[in-house]
């Protein structure tokens, strides 16, 4: 979903109105549909990205801001994995990674959501938005390969394939979560932890079948790109305190209320 100007925060107001109009029952369930269809991290992130895009001041407390002028903002994109399935039942392979939000210069030439960086891309920020779920510690058939490591490997793969060639051009991976989500421990996800997990992932993949040139490029270059990836864990409270928007604040409180169940 592409973020367009004032559209998203207008949508958030409309979603709030839909919610109010759907509270038809005196008891429980009060609403005629599950409230989490509206009050979830996806819509919260879209509203936040829209707010950030409109701000051009330079005194942000988050290093990935401000977004470059003219950057594309997109939600629910796929980032291509370096560990493609070589045959249908390749247990060492995996599907592409879905990310909640992405900002930069890119297009979707292969699929409607498969992200390919522009050749002259100079900035990339990938966002993972959470409410009260944790970050997965593994994937099917591969238990020791966290959601963070997997997403970063896919980001690195995209950079190697298509863009952000200069060392001083920023690459960010950002996780946003509530300050009372105790399932997420940022201290775990050091560069050393991620490097070890990707190394083990590469080793296991190589044992699973024939390796193509495309993967060889990833294997030769991924460590250099990992050094350039800035990993940020920030809370929704810190984000919304900086934005200071009443509509998004109210929306967030309802997100917390309905996602704690």
In the chain, domain spans: 67-244
pLDDT interval class at 56 (50, 70, 90) = low
Give residue 105's pLDDT: 94
Residue 223 or 87, more confident:
223
Query: Got the DSSP string for 84-122?
Result: --SSTT-TT--PPEEEEEEEESEE-SSSSSB-EE-TT--
User: What does pLDDT average to over the chain?
Assistant: 90
Q: Angle at Cα 126 formed by Cα 125 and Cα 130, nearest 5°? A: 135
Determine the Cα–Cα distance for residues 82 and 84; give it in Å rounded to an integer: 6
Give residue 57's pLDDT: 63
Give the gyration radius of the chain's Cα atoms.
19
Q: At what angle do helices 7-21 and 246-259 cross, to 10 degrees?
A: 50
Give residue 197's pLDDT: 96
Within 13 Å of residue 82, how many CA atoms lie on the same side as its CB? 32
Percent of the chain with pLDDT over 90: 65
Q: Is pLDDT of 5 > 50?
A: no
Give me the sheet containing 97-104, strands edge to edge.
Answer: 72-79, 97-104, 124-129, 171-177, 229-235
Q: Is pLDDT of 234 > 60?
A: yes
Cβ–Cβ < 8 Å for 131, 182: no
Mean pLDDT for the stretch of residues 153-159: 96
Cβ–Cβ < 8 Å for 117, 171: no
Give residue 225's pLDDT: 95
Q: Is pLDDT of 15 > 90?
A: no
pLDDT interval class at 159 (50, 70, 90) = very high
Q: Is pLDDT of 142 > 70?
A: yes
Helix, strand, coil content of the chain in percent (nearest 5): 40, 15, 45
Give residue 74's pLDDT: 95
Give the total residue count for the chain. Answer: 261
Give residue 138's pLDDT: 80
């Amino acid at each position: 979903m592409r973020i367009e100007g004032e559209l998203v925060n207008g949508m958030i107001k409309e979603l709030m109105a839909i919610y109010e109009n759907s509270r038809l029952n005196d008891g429980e369930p009060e609403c005629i549909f599950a409230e989490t269809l509206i009050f979830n991290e996806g819509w919260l992130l879209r509203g936040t990205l829209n707010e950030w895009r409109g701000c051009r001041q330079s005194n942000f407390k988050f290093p990935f801001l401000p977004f470059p002028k003219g950057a594309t903002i997109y939600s629910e994109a796929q980032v291509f994995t370096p560990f493609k399935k070589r045959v249908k039942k390749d247990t060492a392979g995996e599907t592409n990674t879905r990310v909640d939000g992405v900002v930069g210069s890119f297009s979707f030439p292969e699929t409607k959501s498969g992200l390919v960086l522009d050749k002259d891309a100079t900035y990339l920020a990938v966002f993972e938005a959470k409410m009260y779920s944790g970050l997965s510690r593994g994937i099917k058939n591969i238990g020791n390969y966290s959601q963070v490591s997997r997403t970063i490997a896919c980001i690195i793969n995209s950079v190697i394939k298509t863009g952000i060639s200069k060392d001083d051009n920023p690459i960010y991976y950002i996780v946003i979560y509530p300050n009372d989500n105790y399932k997420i421990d940022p201290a775990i996800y050091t560069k050393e932890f991620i490097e070890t997990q990707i190394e083990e992932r590469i080793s296991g993949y190589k044992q699973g079948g024939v390796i193509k040139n495309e993967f060889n490029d990833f294997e030769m270059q991924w460590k250099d790109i990992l050094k350039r990836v800035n990993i940020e864990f920030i809370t929704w409270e810190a984000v919304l305190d900086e934005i200071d928007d009443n509509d998004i604040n109210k929306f967030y409180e309802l997100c917390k209320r309905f996602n704690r169940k």
